[in-house]
Structure 1
Amino acid sequence: MGKQFESMLPQHAEFIGKQKIYFVGSAPLSADGHVNLSPKGHDSLRVLTPNKVAYLDLTGSGNETSAHIRENGRVTVMFCAFEGPPNILRLYGNGTVVLPGSEEWDELFPMFDPIPGARQIIVVDVHLVQTSCGYAVPFMDYKEERETLKRWAEQKGEDGLVAYRQEKNMRTIDGMPTPIGISFADSPDA
C-alpha cells in the first residue's frame, strides 16, 4: 500500500497541475452495474482546496460518472507520472454534479478556460489522498492536445449539443438517469 494523507499536500497539488491526463473512476451500487473509467485531458481540472478539486466535464457519448455520483457520490481521480520520477496519485472522495445555470456553476465556471462542449462540472470532496510507486507506468512524451472534441462541439453548436445530450447523455449504459436527464425532464420545455 502506498502512503496515505487526509488532504493534498502542496507537492500533491503541484504534481496534479503538471499532468496532461487524468482518469476518473466511478461505479453504481448495483452489483450488475458497470464500473466506469474515463480518461480526461485538456486543462480541465482545478485544485480548489487541500480537500477539494473540480473538473470541467465535456460532452461525450456517455455520462456514467454523473449518474454514479448522483446515486452514491463515490468517485476516484487518478494521476500517473508519464515523465520524471515515477508516481501515482489517487484522490478518493464524494462528488457532486454542477449543471449550467446554477449558482455554483456561475462561481466555478470562470476558473476554467472555456472549452466548447462543456456540459457540467464535477466537484470532488476528497477524504483520502494516496500515493504509490508507479514503477510499472511507462515513460511517454506529451505531444499536444487533440482538438477533435473542440472542433466537433463547435460544429454542433449549442442547439446541436443539447440535442446530442438528449440523445446520448440522459441515461447510463445501465439505464440509470443522469443529472442532465433529470434536469431536462424537470424543465418546462420537456
Structure 2
Amino acid sequence: MEVQETEVQTDRVFTIPNLLSLLRLLGVPLFLWLILVQEADLWALAVLALSGITDYLDGKLARRWNQISRVGELLDPLADRLYIFSTIVAFVLRDIIPLWFAILLVSRDVLLLCLVPILRRRGLISLPVHFLGKAATFCLLYAFPLLLLGIGDGTLHTLAQVFGWAFAVWGVALYWWAGVLYVEQARRLLRTGVAAEPEDEHDQ
C-alpha cells in the first residue's frame, strides 16, 4: 500500500519537501557571500545549520506525507552536492580545511560523475540513493558548521574543532565507502541493463 501511494505522487512538483530543497539551493550563494565577502561567520554558520535541518526535514516530511516526487529526488542530492562543494571551496579559501582534504572529498564526486555518460548510454539515468550515502552527507553537513564554529580560541572553539573533525573524518570515510558501493552498483546495472530498486529507501 505504501509503495503504491509513493508511485501515485512521483510527478508532483509543488510540495513542501521540494520547497525546502529549493530554499537550500537558494541558500548556497547566500552562504558564499556571507563567508567569503562579508566574513560574517555567525550568519554563515546559521545558513549551514539551517541547510542541515532542512536536509533532514525534506526527506522526513516527504515520507510522512507521501510527497516523494521525481523532482525531489533530483533537488535533494543536488542541494547536498552544491552545499558540500561550495563549503569546501569557501573553507579552503579561508584556510579552515587543508587543500588535500578538499581534494579527497571532490575526487569522489568526480569519480561518480565519470559514470554518468556510461550509464546514460545504456539508458540508465541515475543510481538509487542508499542509506550509507545519506549518512555520509549528514556527517559532513554537521562537520562544516562545527569547523566554522571552531575558528578562534577558547574551550568552545576547541571542542567545536574536535567534534567537527571527528564528523569530517567519518563523513569522508562513509562518503568514499558509499562511492565504492555506487561503482559496484553501476557495474551490476551495466552488466544486466536493468535498473535496480533503491536500497533501504525507508531509512533515507
What is the TM-score with the length of structure 1 in the denominator?
0.27
- Flag the structure with higher strand content: 1
What is the TM-score with the length of structure 2 in the denominator?
0.26
Report which of the two structures shows the higher radius of gyration computed on alpha carbons: 2
Where relative contact order (Cα < 8 A, 6+ residues apart) is larger, the structure is: 1
